Homo-oligomer: A and B are copies of this chain.
């Protein structure tokens, strides 16, 4: 389709990583259209807005990368946190495990359970590092652990790093990046993002907390989004709106 000039907004994983070697290692598949890898634009709507405006193929990211990249990229671009130690502990509702009926998604298995999965092997880990590199120039190796929560939808990522900057400087980087973006909400009143506030909405809520210790200043970032909307379909709509020159939030409010 893209070869024929149709503008494509792709929710699959095939054009998210722009390096075929990383893709093939992560997905154990041969990539069939490597020529498009460098032409595809990563559809993280608030970060690659300008590229999306003229994109032919937008590779819309999924829920885990969106929830991690939105808070991290402005801080890494401004060199405000230690990019050599990034930990993302993410928790997803069961719809994140897919529509297919499997033992993992069986009600009696998922209900009243909670667990990590894909430790150190999840395919979104190399994607996150790849995009951080493209957006900020930093070489990272994020430590990413996804967990399954017994609820239908919603996602929280709790992200850990250390910083030499002040909380005000960290928040300033976020404000600079997102004050003109309709769907990123910075919570700085001390309240904590939660699934309830973002479920069934196109928003991602982000907040950060710092603590000085004798071993440096810890920073904890919390982000919350609906994995089916900002983590999938509403972000695709956002990209479509940006590409077509429509209001970014058309059809989403």
A71-115 contact mask (Cβ, 8 Å, vs B): 1 or 0: 000000000000011010101011100010111011111111111
The reply to whether A220 and B105 contact each other, CB–CB distance below 8 Å, is no
Q: Is A134 an interface residue (CB 8 A)?
A: no
Q: How far is the CB of A210 from chain B (nearest CB, A)?
A: 8
Q: Which of A146-183 contact B (CB under 8 A)?
A: 147, 149-154, 156, 158, 160, 162
State how many copies of this chain the complex holds: 4
Query: Which residue from B94, B112, B115 sits with its C-beta under 8 Å from A193?
Result: B115
List CB contacts (< 8 Å) of A214-232 with chain B: 214-215, 218, 220, 222, 224
Q: What is the number of residues of chain A that contact chain B, defined by CB distance less than 8 Å?
A: 57
CB closest residue in chain B, given A156: B114
Asked if residues B150 and A120 are in contact (CB atoms below 8 Å), the reply is no
Which of A1-9, A17-25, A43-51, A137-145 has 4 or more CB atoms under 8 Å from chain B? A137-145
Is the Cβ of B152 less than 8 Å from the Cβ of A114? no
CB of B87 within 8 A of CB of A108, answer no
Task: Report if A222-B113 is in contact (Cβ < 8 Å); known contacts: A85-B215, A107-B107.
Answer: no
Known: A106-B106, A107-B109, A111-B151. 18 other contacts (CB 8 A): A85-B85, A87-B160, A89-B158, A91-B147, A94-B107, A94-B111, A99-B108, A105-B108, A107-B111, A108-B153, A112-B152, A112-B154, A115-B195, A119-B192, A119-B209, A120-B211, A143-B220, A160-B160
Q: Which residues of A contact B (CB under 8 A)?
A: 84-85, 87, 89, 91, 93-95, 99, 101-103, 105-117, 119-120, 139, 141, 143, 145, 147, 149-154, 156, 158, 160, 162, 192-196, 199, 209, 211, 213-215, 218, 220, 222, 224
A-B contact pairs, 9 of them (CB 8 A): A89-B158, A101-B101, A101-B105, A112-B154, A114-B156, A115-B195, A120-B218, A143-B220, A149-B150
